[in-house]
Amino acid sequence: MPDSIHIPVLPNEVLEYLQPQPGHVVVDGTLGGGGHARLLAERVGPDGFVLALDRDPRAIAAAEQTLAGLPVKVAQANFAELPDIVRSLGLSAVDGVLLDLGLSSDQLADAARGFSFDARGPLDLRFDPTEGEPAWQLLARVREEPLANLIYEFGEERFSRRIARRIVEVRRSDPIRTADQLARLVRSCVPRAGRQRIDAATRTFQALRIAVNDELGSLKRALAQIPSWLRPGGRFVVISFHSLEDRLVKEAFRDNPQLDRLCNKPVCASDLECAGNPRSRSAKLRAAMRRA
pTM of the model: 0.92
What pLDDT, on the 0 to 100 scale, is given for residue 1?
46
* Eight-state DSSP code of residue 276: H
Which sequence spans correspond to the domains of the chain?
11-106+216-290, 112-214
Pick the CATH number of 11-106+216-290 from 3.40.50.150, 1.10.443.10, 3.30.720.200, 3.30.450.40: 3.40.50.150
Nearest C-alpha neighbor of 127 from the set 63, 79, 91, 197: 79
Q: Tens place of pLDDT for every residue, the chain, 292 residues?
A: 445 566 889 999 999 999 999 999 999 999 988 999 999 999 999 999 999 999 999 889 988 888 999 999 999 999 999 999 999 999 999 999 999 997 766 666 566 677 788 778 889 999 998 899 999 999 999 999 999 999 999 999 999 999 999 999 999 999 999 999 999 999 999 987 756 678 899 999 999 999 999 999 999 999 999 999 999 999 999 999 999 999 999 999 999 999 999 998 999 999 999 999 888 899 999 999 999 8
What pLDDT, on the 0 to 100 scale, is given for residue 262?
97
Q: Which CATH class is domain 112-214?
A: mainly alpha
d(CA 183, CA 263): 37
What pLDDT, on the 0 to 100 scale, is given for residue 116?
81
What are the Cα distances from residue 194, in Å, to 87, 100, 191? 53, 32, 10
Nearest C-alpha neighbor of 94 from the set 230, 220, 271: 230
